[in-house]
Structure 1
Amino acid sequence: MKTFEDKSRESYNRKADDYDNTAEGKFTVNFKKLLLEEIKIKPNNSILDVACGNGTFLKMLSKKCDIRGYGIDISERMIENAKKRCSDMTFEISNCDHTSFENQVFDVITVCAAYHHFPDVKAFAQEASRVLKPYGSIYIADVYYPFIIRAICNPFLPLSKAGDVKFYSPKEIISNFEAFGFKQAGFRREGYIQIIEMRRLS
């Protein structure tokens, strides 16, 4: 039986070469634009984009500020394309909760329109806490749906061929990271998009 990661890997390998022109690629553009408005970064910050896809968001960030960009994704083909798009950055094939990075190396972590794909969000929060520097921030930009929509959709979401797992409320996302030493530092919602900033405490 295929895992969520198996389904995601296969789905995004198929979409990778023309992702920006797919319906999903166009749908996620607004997530990237809104996150770009919200994120607070400084020159030479080390940024890890988790589920980075083809590197589009890191490329957008690099135009805003001189950064040291890193990206991980489980799709081999997405990583190949990200390396071409951002040749001066570092990319690895990796899942979200067991990375190869050393402790406390990143100033900022971003997740754009991918959190609902993560099979174990607690393990991810723990890994984020490990690789973030003290007082570093993680930004989760993900789909927002009211309770009734989540209640209807979530039981069927795991049947998705793209590896979707669950749509989360802001409270669920915040409490998950609080359990691993984070504190809420920002929140914004625009329609179906929510952006939550959590800051790692020392």
Structure 2
Amino acid sequence: MVKTFEDKSRKSYNEKANDYDKTFDGKFTAKFKELLLKEITMENNSSVLDVGCGNGTFLKMLANNYNIEGYGIDISEKMIENAKKSCPSMTFEVSGCEYTPFKNQMFHAVTVCASYHHFPDTKAFAKEVSRILKPKGVVYISEIYFPLIIRAIVNPFVLLSKAGDVKFYSPKEIQGNFEEYGFEKVDFKREGHIQVIVFRKL
């Protein structure tokens, strides 16, 4: 049986879940979380969905800055189990990113931290974000950045990743996906191997 990207990601992150923050991935993504947090501005009592939320660390960081109604989804059951323990006042569901169990126009903001390169269908994700975001809602993406030459070398091999990586994207590719579904880019920052892009739903 051929394993899908989600199958591989689920297995990989279930195995890492209990000690995630101490793993290489956990330490590597810590900087993504810090930079993403710096870019976010929101009203208190905003509803926020973190996609690929892992063990809930980023939502907990966000809740230290704002009074939020926090939600998280992840395909790893063990990550969600740990997120529920870590953030008992928030709502977590096991779910992929393309079809989520939420109502239309439910969220003020959607966040994605170092998970975008795992998504099997980024266009379907942009379409789903358009559905669940309120008018003028904002999506914040913190993602790995590689220049063109590195992407050209790495991307053919990424498909073989045991962790379910799919593809590394340029800022222009990410922007194109969201513009197709009624978003405008409102900010872009890059620091080394990290890009942070902010879109607003029109």
- TM-superposed deviation, 1:135: 0.5
Provide the residue aligned with 1:126 in structure 2. 127
Partner SS, residue 156 of structure 2: coil
Name the TM-score, length of structure 2 as normaliser. 0.99
Aligned equivalents of 2:30 and 2:57: distance in 1?
9
Distance in 1 separating the partners of 2:11 and 2:175:
30
TM-fit CA distance, 1:69: 0.1
Map 1:126-145 → 2, pairs under 5 A: 126-145=127-146
Partner AA of 2:106 in structure 1? V
Q: Cα deviation per residue 1:148-174 (whole Å; 9 max; x = unaligned)?
A: 000000011010000000000000000
Amino acid corresponding to residue 172 of structure 2 in structure 1: K
CA-atom RMSD in angstroms: 0.4
Q: Take 2:151 and 2:141, find their aligned partners in 1: how far apart are those partners? A: 18
Counterpart Cα distance in 2 of 1:199 and 1:49: 16
Q: Unpaired segments of 5 or more residues in structure 1? A: none
CA–CA distance in 1 between the matches of 2:42 and 2:55? 21
- Corresponding residue of 1:193: 194
Runs of 4+ aligned structure 1 residues displaced above 3 Å come to none
Identity of aligned residues (%): 66
Q: Which residue of 2 aligns with 1:30?
A: 31
SS at match of 1:163: coil
The offset of 1:41, in angstroms, is: 1.2
Match of 1:103 in 2: 104
- 1:9-158 alignment runs, 5 A limit: 9-158=10-159
Letter in 2 for 1:144: Y
Partners of 2:177 and 2:99 lie apart in 1 by 17
Question: Partner of 1:97: helix, strand, or coil?
Answer: coil
Distance (Å, rounded) in 1 between the aligned partners of 2:14 and 2:52:
13
Q: How many residues align?
A: 201
Please state how far the C-alpha of 1:42 moved relative to its aligned partner: 1.1
User: How far apart, CA to CA, are the structure 2 residues paired with 1:42 and 1:116?
Assistant: 29
Mapped to 1, the partners of 2:98 and 2:190 lie a distance apart of 26
Determine the C-alpha separation between the residues in 1 that align with 2:147 and 2:46: 35
Alpha-carbon distance in structure 2 between the residues aligned to 1:35 and 1:25: 15
Tell me, in whole angstroms, the C-alpha distance in 1 between the residues paired with 2:139 and 2:39.
12
